[in-house]
Amino acid sequence: MDNDSSFTIFPAIDLRAGQVVRLQKGDPQRQTTYGADPGGVAARWITGGARWLHVVNLDGAFGEADSANQGAIRSILAVAAPSGIHVQLGGGLRSPEDLESALAMGVHRAVLGTRAIQDPASLADALNHWGPDRIAVSLDALDGLVRVAGWTEDTGLDAVQLAQDFKAMGLRWLVFTDIARDGLGSGLNLAKTTDLARASGLAVIASGGVHSLEDVQAVKAAHLAGVIVGRALYEGQIDPLRLFSLEGSSC
């Protein structure tokens, strides 16, 4: 587990057809739409105190046309850049060209999922080219087994073993999502996330199921690198000002 990194809270901005949405357990049939102004949503979280934004191109993740999302991503970057806010982007980055384009447009850290898992050599190339602070991997697991392609395909690969393999390749940052909890507001699977961080030695960002400030405090107390917060912010269960103040507080 990497305890040297400062704790970061990432508000999630999930994009589908240019709109800000949340999915329950990654299911596109269980979608809630929160607005058609991604730049405005980004500004809202930045005003609340966010230092990073976690943006997901869901259309790209599902292998669908994502032209509307590309415009949405640019609108978010246009709001974030003048404020010095970093954007972490995942979803659909499945070729060197995709990665190059994302980082060139101003994304600070690109999150690889399907590509890294199905072609580990491409992850090694990306880490060698961009360095370990510009590249992260997203491991999305159900019952400990990794899923890809927008969570639609079960790889049969063990999440802990894969994280250890990626660490050996030079990876530093890992986003871990327990699919069974994501978008449900039922609480994080902190035990599995912490076990993964300890076993791999990676800086792990927890994702999936945050519903209260206490959840976030528990992630920080567990010495994880950060946490992604989605539905609880959009539905008013967590006050942004109180949330982002936790980054600099002691738990």
Would you say residue 3 lies in a domain? no
pTM for the complete prediction?
A: 0.92
Q: In the annotation, is 140 catalytic?
A: yes
Parent domain of 38: 8-246
* CATH classification of the domain holding 116: 3.20.20.70
Residue 1 lies in a domain: no
**Residue 205 pairs with which residues in a beta bridge?**
175, 226
Tens digits of residue pLDDT in 44-58: 999 999 999 999 999
Q: Average of pLDDT values for 99-113?
A: 96
**Domain count of the fold of the chain:** 1
* pLDDT tens figures, 189-203: 898 899 999 999 999
C-alpha to C-alpha distance for 240 and 94, rounded to whole angstroms: 33
- Cross-strand pairs, 226: 8, 205
Whether 133 is catalytic: no
Catalytic: which of 66, 140, 182, 215?
Answer: 140
Q: Give residue 30's pLDDT band: very low, low, confident or very high (50, 70, 90).
A: confident
Question: Could you count the other beta carbons within 10 Å of the beta carbon of residue 44?
Answer: 18
Q: What is the dihedral of CA 26, 31, 36, 42, to 10 degrees?
A: -40
Selecting among 14, 59, 178, 182, the annotated active-site residue is: 14
Residues of the chain with pLDDT > 70, as a percent, come to: 93
Q: CB neighbours (10 Å) of residue 3?
A: 9
Angle at 102 between CA 84 and CA 46, to 5 degrees: 30
Tell me the pLDDT tens digit for each residue of 47-87. Answer: 999 999 999 999 998 888 788 999 999 999 999 999 999 99
Length of the chain in residues, anyone?
Answer: 251
Q: What is the pLDDT of residues 138-156, one digit of tens each?
A: 998 888 899 987 677 889 9
CA separation for the pair 110, 133 (Å, rounded)? 9
> Is 2 a member of any domain?
no
What is the rounded average pLDDT of the residues 176-196? 77
Q: Is residue 169 part of a domain?
A: yes
For residue 230, which of 74, 45, 43 has the smallest C-alpha distance? 45
The dihedral over CA atoms of 42, 47, 53, 54, expressed in degrees to the nearest 10, equals -70
